[in-house]
A and B are shown apart, each in its own frame.
Chain A
Amino acid sequence: MVKLTIPAPELMYSGHSACPGCAPALAMRLMLKGLGPRTIVSVPACCWTVVATPYPTTALGVAMLDNPIESTGASISGLRAAADALGLTDVHILGFAGDGGTADIGLQALSGMLERRTNAIYAMYDNEAYMNTGVQRSGATPLGAWTTTTPVGDGARGKAEPKKDVMGIVLAHRPVYAATVNPSFPEDFVRKVEKAAALRGPRFFHIFTPCPPGWRYPSDQTIEIGRKATDCGIFPLYEVEEGRYHVTRKGGSLRPVTEYFQAQGRFSHLVPEDLARVQAQVNADWQRLLRLESGT
């Protein structure tokens, strides 16, 4: 009767303690829809440890290991070895970590896991700051964004440095599969996860996850902001399989970046010249991505 475009089984339960409108909650929901119940998740300190564990309950229908913030990569290498030793070779091992725990604090463990060719999936849900501890800037915070440690006012104008290119760092390790996904595009998201699930070796996801309190926008705008991020070219959707690029959402020309920036309080101090610079960078990055795809 109901025609669903993504799998019906829910492995993320209601009653979790994410904020209203939390995209990282949707990211976990979609990730587990794609991977299914034979999965073990390793979560470092980040919003998701708190979201999943209103003690004595769990919001996950799969086993979860809570680990220190810097060690997600190492923990999934260990989980893989243990699972294989027990003969659980069909079980998916998933590391599910924030941007702070990935781009900054856990970068060496991620690099180690990729370099060891661990047969596991590492997913970074990127809400572009340390949210669990109250919005401090991370390496993944974009240029110009307000956070509590990159304030606005008295001459300060948000983060002065551009966002770290985590996909670039990961791709330098030549994983078997890496993709960007966005909960605003659930079918694309689940299709990529299902594809990755069928492969063996190190796999990586960069998940775009708006955060209403951290980005300062009303909670009903989460999906819309995610959609704008992709359609304005800020967060293009693509996958890289054995080095081959494939852009999975093109849809004609990019929307102007102002549509994305205007929707968020964390960028409200930016002036047209700032946005013009961002637009130029986004255009150049988009052309570069298209060239990587066409192999020219």
Chain B
Amino acid sequence: MGATIEIRFHGRGGQGAVVASELLAQAAFLDGKRPQSFPFFGVERRGAPVTAYTRIDDHPLGIRTSITTPDIVVVLEPSLLRTQPVTDGLKEDGLLLVNTRNPAQELMIPVPARRAVVDANQIAVAHGLGSLTMPIVNTAVLGALVAASGVVSMTALDQAIEEFVPARQAENRAAAEDGYHAVRMVEANMPFTPPVPRAVGPTPQLPEGPMATLSSELIHTAAWRTLRPVVHLEHCTRCNFCWKFCPDDAFQFDEKGYPVVRYEYCKGCGICVVECPPRVIEMVEEV
């Protein structure tokens, strides 16, 4: 290959994006390469967007900067495709790998790169990695990355997981293996329109007025959940405990006073299910 291969991971805190970038580097090292791996400095909160970088070369790397023109972009959480500039700088002959169960919808992004998809949530849940609400998808996604790109060997990835994953090595190795076989190449379903180049000019002045004036309700957090609450209204007593205890204010009432879940915002925490006194809310698998 010769040139440095640059890989950028995008995930949410809790999915294991940083560990994925480290494991990939460890695997590359086992393959005899000279890799590096580091995260973008930011918050570590569960659900927060996280970026991590891996570089792989045959020779020791002098460069220490973040990756702006990646050969490969790996997206662990599909909602990031809409809310974060994850494909920025992705090379035209590059590869975009997305963990999604809904490729048709998720891949309507105007980049020319090849695309691969894998349903790593399902694989992680099947191997008991993380929880239903927050599956740890990193090893399944790495298996898929190996199949789609060949940047490291599967033997090296397997060994890296065995040596460097602190717990549940067997399950993680099996998840990587499943990811390897489950990955699919897909066609772009939107014509590529080159992006308008960003205007480069002087740093904008900070405004004298408020920095942010739009409501966060513009941001939909539905993709954070893997289970959704369903209210069985026949037995609902209209006590509104669900509304009262929802940290995401995801309930409203219909004209008769029955609760209606605003699914755009529900993160699937399950609090309403536990707090509903007659227990008429149930968590069901997202489809």
Write the residues of chain A forming the contact surface with B, with a CB cutoff of 8 angstroms. 1-6, 10, 12-23, 25-26, 29, 47, 50, 52-59, 61, 63, 131-134, 183, 186, 212-213, 218-224
Contact = CB atoms under 8 A, between A and B. Distances in A.
Contacts of B238: 2
A5 B47 contact: no
B257 interface: yes
Contacts of A56: 211-214
A213 B248 contact: no
Question: Which of B212, B240, B247, B267: most chain A Cβ within 10 A?
Answer: B247
Contacts of B64: none
Interface in B72-88: 83
Contacts of A131: 45
B71 to A, nearest CB: 28
Given A17-B47, A219-B271, A5 B218 contact: no
Contact of A222 (B48, B134, B268, B271): B271
Given A56-B214, A59-B216, A63-B210, A13 B249 contact: yes
Interface in B244-274: 244-245, 247-250, 253, 255-257, 262, 264-265, 267-271, 273-274
Given A15-B216, A20-B270, A29-B247, 16 more contacts: A10-B249, A14-B249, A14-B264, A15-B221, A15-B265, A19-B267, A20-B224, A25-B247, A56-B213, A57-B218, A58-B210, A58-B216, A219-B271, A220-B271, A221-B274, A223-B275
Interface string B39-63: 0000111111000000000000000
11 contacts: A1-B257, A14-B264, A15-B220, A16-B248, A19-B14, A19-B46, A19-B267, A21-B270, A50-B45, A55-B211, A132-B43
Contacts of B274: 220-221, 223-224
Contacts of A186: 244-245
Contact of B43 (A2, A29, A50, A55): A50
Contacts of A223: 245, 271, 274-275
Interface string B230-248: 0000000010100011011
A63 B213 CA distance: 9
Nearest to B259: A2
Given A4-B240, A29-B247, A20 B216 contact: no
A61 B257 CA distance: 24
A160 to B, nearest CB: 24
The secondary structure that dominates the B interface is: loop
A218 B283 CA distance: 14
Interface residues of B, number: 48
Contacts of B203: none
Contacts of A55: 211-212
Contacts of A20: 46-47, 133-134, 224-225, 247-248, 267-270
A12 B256 CA distance: 24
A240 B255 CA distance: 41
Nearest to A218: B131
Given A55-B212, A58-B212, A58-B216, A19 B249 contact: no
B219 interface: yes
B215 interface: yes
B217 interface: yes
Contacts of B220: 15
Shortest beta-carbon contacts, A-B, top 3: A220-B270, A15-B216, A14-B265
A5 B83 CA distance: 36
Given A20-B268, A186-B244, A219-B133, A15 B215 contact: yes
B247 A26 contact: yes
Contacts of B217: 13-15
A14 B44 contact: no
A16 B216 contact: yes
Contacts of A5: 240, 244
Nearest to B229: A220
A59 B217 CA distance: 8
A19 to B, nearest CB: 4
B139 to A, nearest CB: 20
A3 B239 CA distance: 8
B215 A57 contact: yes
Contacts of B210: 58, 63
Given A53-B212, A58-B212, A58-B215, A132 B269 contact: no
A54 B216 contact: yes
A61 B216 CA distance: 10
Contacts of A134: 44
B216 A14 contact: yes
B134 to A, nearest CB: 8
A25 B248 contact: yes
Contacts of B131: 218
Nearest to B250: A14
B43 to A, nearest CB: 5
Contacts of B265: 14-15
A18 B212 contact: no
B271 A21 contact: yes
Contacts of A53: 212
B277 to A, nearest CB: 12
A12 B216 CA distance: 9
B222 to A, nearest CB: 10
Nearest to B132: A218
A26 B245 contact: yes
